[in-house]
Amino acid sequence: MSHRSTVILGTGSYAPSRVLTNAELAHTIDTSDEWIHSRSGIRERRIAAPGEMTSDMAVAAAQRALADAKLTPADIDLLIVATITPDMPMPAAACIIQHKLGLATTTACFDLNAACSGFIYAFDTACAMLSSGRYQRALVIGVEKLSSIVDWQDRTTCVLFGDGAGAVVIGPSDQPGVGLLGTRLGTYGDSVDLLCIPGGGSNAPASVASVGARDHFIKMKGKEVFKIAVRAMEESARDILEQHGLGATQIALVIPHQANLRIIEAIAQYLEIPMERFFVNVDRYGNTSAASIPIALDEARRTGRIKAGDVTLLVAFGAGLTYGSALIRW
């Protein structure tokens, strides 16, 4: 049991201005707005500008979160960045972001890779580090430039993903029973092959052959992932509600990972929580992996969908296959 509560002090998000619509995609690959929208709920996604880096998007979201929290970079002593698309394989994007944001050199900075579940994993990690009392205020960022790792010739994946960033500032609170109430994280490591980038790691370093085989792009077996996603998100949500003695009616808002509207609708049905209490923006951004939940969380707060005392459920699923749920009381 943690000896102090950890609360969200501010949120911020950023999406690149370039909008790529389904109709535009249909000019370059064999697809249609009708197919993409009916199968995924996606209408459009954002694409980073040429030269716009993952770190730039992260900095924009973080500055908004700091402003919302009425804090400055000097107040932060921990930065965790959830991403699968760092500016470069080494060092961590967090190091580049630290410098661009002007965080103190005494800030602990690292990246965390749990793919689309990354934000919940990073949020849990940051809250645990704050609960220890060794850190005071953390910035947790979910950011992706998926346009750089999507195979634009593969219609089964390229229509699904987009770019963006979301950030939260967290800190301790003396008030009991608020902030992060708990998490339920897990992994199905036996299903790595269903969603991965096969090339570029130590097992298959970049080579002329790996580039020719397009092995540096996302490969996904969508149908299989879909089924496991629904089951894992439903189970982890159910578990965490049970653990905390909460019924579906006590959840004011669910913020699910935005991968596919049909996945969200299936979870809503199984959990018996009406769709009106699910936040959905997959139509505007597509799947932004680790950025999807913090972007949605920021939009939910800014549009008045979260009030003091509310309990919010975050639930995600992604490559790994990782999954996780988190309960927050505001």
Which positions lie near ligand UT7, rule CB under 6 A?
Answer: 31, 35-36, 39-40, 116, 155-156, 159, 222-223, 225-226, 229, 259-260, 263, 287, 317-318
**259 close to 146: Cβ distance less than 8 angstroms:** no
The nearer residue to ligand UT7, 39 or 305, going by C-beta atoms, is 39
Residue number of the CB atom closest to ligand UT7: 222
The nearer residue to ligand UT7, 38 or 250, going by C-beta atoms, is 38
**200 close to 148: Cβ distance less than 8 angstroms:** no
Side chain identity, residue 241: L
**223 close to 166: Cβ distance less than 8 angstroms:** no
| Number of neighbours of residue 213 by Cβ within 10 angstroms | 13
CB of 26 to ligand UT7, least distance (A): 8
Given the residues 95, 109, 116, 127, select the one marked as catalytic.
116
Sign of torsion over alpha carbons 296, 17, 215, 263: positive
CB of 259 to ligand UT7, least distance (A): 3
CB of 109 to ligand UT7, least distance (A): 26
CB of 166 to ligand UT7, least distance (A): 15
As a whole number of angstroms, the distance between CA 13 and CA 218 comes to 24
Given the residues 113, 127, 257, 260, select the one marked as catalytic.
257
- Strands 5-14 and 78-82, by their bridges, are unpaired
Beta bridge partners of 314: 255, 326
Whether residue 158 lies in the annotated active site: no
CB of 118 to ligand UT7, least distance (A): 11
Given the residues 22, 113, 260, 287, select the one marked as catalytic.
287
**220 close to 289: Cβ distance less than 8 angstroms:** no
Tokens of 82: 């959830």
Strand order in the sheet with 108-112: 5-14, 163-173, 138-145, 78-82, 108-112
The nearer residue to ligand UT7, 193 or 242, going by C-beta atoms, is 193
- Which residues have a catalytic role annotated? 116, 257, 287
